[in-house]
């Protein structure tokens, strides 16, 4: 007998242009610590009828170094664009971004 924890979730994307609330069902399988996420559909909701949002598989409990580096790069790219908008002299920020291989 497979033991599964079922959670009902909502992805609230209303702040984005044309965003809305999407209901999901998350299954956590206790036997092997895997997760699957299914999208819940209503009749005539205008969405494609693909129920699987994330197929069953393990989720990493610790973020990988690559994921952390990508987050840092995105943050620095955003900060550089803000800094460029405020000032034309950005040598220190540019040097930091080049050292971390951030595209500017």
CB 22 within 8 A of CB 10: yes
pLDDT at 12: 86
What does each of the 104 residues of the chain score in pLDDT, given as a tens digit?
889 999 999 888 888 888 888 889 999 999 998 999 999 888 888 888 788 888 999 877 666 666 666 667 776 666 556 555 545 545 555 555 555 555 54
Instruction: Return the SS3 of 17.
Output: coil
CB 89 within 8 A of CB 82: no
pLDDT at 104: 46
């Amino acid at each position: 007998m497979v033991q599964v924890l079922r959670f009902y979730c909502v992805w609230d994307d209303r702040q984005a242009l044309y965003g809305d609330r999407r209901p999901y069902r998350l299954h956590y399988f206790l036997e092997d610590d895997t997760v699957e996420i299914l999208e819940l559909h209503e009749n005539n909701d205008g969405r494609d009828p693909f129920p699987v949002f994330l197929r069953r598989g393990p989720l990493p409990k610790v973020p990988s170094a690559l994921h952390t580096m990508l987050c840092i790069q995105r943050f620095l790219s955003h900060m550089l664009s803000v800094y460029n908008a405020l000032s034309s002299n950005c040598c220190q920020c540019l040097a930091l971004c080049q050292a971390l291989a951030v595209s500017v």
